[in-house]
Amino acid sequence: MDIEQRIKELEEEIKRTQYNKATEKHILRLKARIAYLKKELEERRKKQKSQRGGKGIKKSGDAMVSLIGPPSVGKSLLFNKLTNAKSDVAEYAFTTLEVYPGILKHKGAEIQLLDMPGLIEGASLGRGKGREILGIARNSDLILILLDVFTVELLDMILKELYNFGIRINQKPPRISIKRKDRGGINIASTVPLSMEEESIAAIVREFGYINADILIKEDINAERLMDFLAGNRAYVPALLVVNKIDLIDDETLEEIEKILGLWNPVFISAKEELGLDKLKDEIFRAAQLIRIYLKPQSGKIDYDAPLILKKGATIEDICRALHRDFVKKFRYAMVWGKSVKFPGQHVGLEHKVEDEDIVRLVIRR
């Protein structure tokens, strides 16, 4: 029997089974089985695809940001306002049919923005170029989810399609590791108290084909994140929610939308009237986890217009590597002014983590 058929059957079995204390474990196992089969299915698809030689989009710049949203919410108009590129804008749905790149320059960074075709229900199963769109979103540094004031309720659909495609937004990867062994069954160790029963954890791990293994858990895991970890093909991508066309509604309606989306901290804009675009650029920079480092040369002034753009968490070593291939080897120490140090001009080593707008002077052996 083929995998898809088997998944359907298992899903139906879950639907048929009444959820209670007695069936809880059985249902969990069925869910783990489904997650495992979906992973298998995904791997097969990928193999077929690479044989066909799927075309992708080339990353460039300091970060790649995908514009994801339903048709006609204004993705292309926003893209045109933010970048040097020009994408077609029209009233009808499905104006944009291909992925289209442009560059947004902000705070010294070059951010690659991708205009995309609209995302529709069933995209994760391949409707409307869905797999191509989601495949690119997966590899982005940031997913910009764009809705307009009339389509706020489509957020759930977008989230579902991202989720079904294995994209986990605004989540950190599960802190688990697993090692196969030859004998001894499934051993579970944890560094924090666990809400899940060990028996359930072991049952799920077994569904993924492990017979003997040591598993180390460093967070209070739930079944979903455990399966995500075991499936192993999830992408953890930050996301930013943006709501467009605020020029078309009154303040009251805007407040209602704010209430509905409250937890998301959305950015409200009008691409047409160019409202909120400066704030949006700042938010893109922040959400893409970029930082600016100003280099202080031996002599001469700091060029505040030309920061070095790095990712949050970057170290002095990353700065050295970005500048010259010999700098790590010849590194003596660095002096830092800014948020990452206790006092101005503090001496630090290669492993020191820098922060946004730090000033750094590298002292290198000759």
Catalog residues that contact ligand GTP under the rule CB under 6 A. 71-77, 89-91, 93-96, 117-118, 244-245, 247-248, 270-272
Instruction: Select 97 or 192, whichever has its Cβ closest to ligand GTP.
Output: 97
Round to whole Å and give the CA distance between 227 and 207. Answer: 10
CB of 116 to ligand GTP, least distance (A): 8
Rounded (5°) CA angle 287-293-297 = 170
Q: Among residues 223, 230, 226, which one has the least CA distance to residue 25?
A: 223
Nearer to ligand GTP, 114 or 336 (CB): 114
Q: How far is the CB of 249 from ligand GTP (least distance, A)?
A: 10
Residue nearer to ligand GTP on the CB measure, 108 or 117? 117
Residue 145 · residue 240 · CB < 8 Å? yes
Query: Would strands 213-217 and 176-180 be described as parallel, antiparallel, or unpaired?
Result: antiparallel
Q: Which pair of structure tokens corresponds to residue 117?
A: 């075709």
Q: Indicate which of Mg ion, ligand GTP, none lies near residue 163 (CB less than 5 to 8 Å, by partner kind).
A: none
Residue number with CB closer to ligand GTP (2 or 91):
91
Smallest gap from Cβ 203 to ligand GTP, in A, equals 44
In the complex with ligand GTP, the residue whose CB is nearer, 85 or 178, is 85
Cα–Cα distances in Å, from 256 out to 21, 145, 249, 252, 277?
A: 40, 19, 11, 6, 21
Least Cβ distance, residue 162 to Mg ion (angstroms): 19
- State the residues that interact with Mg ion by CB under 5 A: 75-76, 95-96
How remote is the C-alpha of 42 from its chain's centroid? 19
Q: Which does 192 bind (CB under 5 to 8 A by kind): ligand GTP, Mg ion, none?
A: none
358 and 295 in contact (C-beta within 8 Å)? no
Residue type, 306: A
Strand partners, 275: 270
Radius of gyration of the chain (CA): 24
Partner that binds at residue 238, options Mg ion, ligand GTP, none, CB closer than 5 to 8 Å by kind: none
From the CB of 74, what's the least distance to ligand GTP, in Å? 3
CB of 322 to ligand GTP, least distance (A): 35
Q: In what order do the strands lie in the sheet with 176-180?
A: 176-180, 213-217, 186-190
Pair of tokens at residue 260 = 């509905």
Q: Which entry of Mg ion, ligand GTP, none binds 245, CB below 5 to 8 A by partner kind?
A: ligand GTP
The listed partner (Mg ion, ligand GTP, none) that binds 307, CB under 5 to 8 Å by sort, is none
Using CB distances below 5 to 8 A depending on partner kind, what does residue 73 bind out of ligand GTP, Mg ion, none? ligand GTP
Residue 102 binding target from Mg ion, ligand GTP, none, CB below 5 to 8 Å by type: none
3-state secondary structure (DSSP) of residue 286: helix
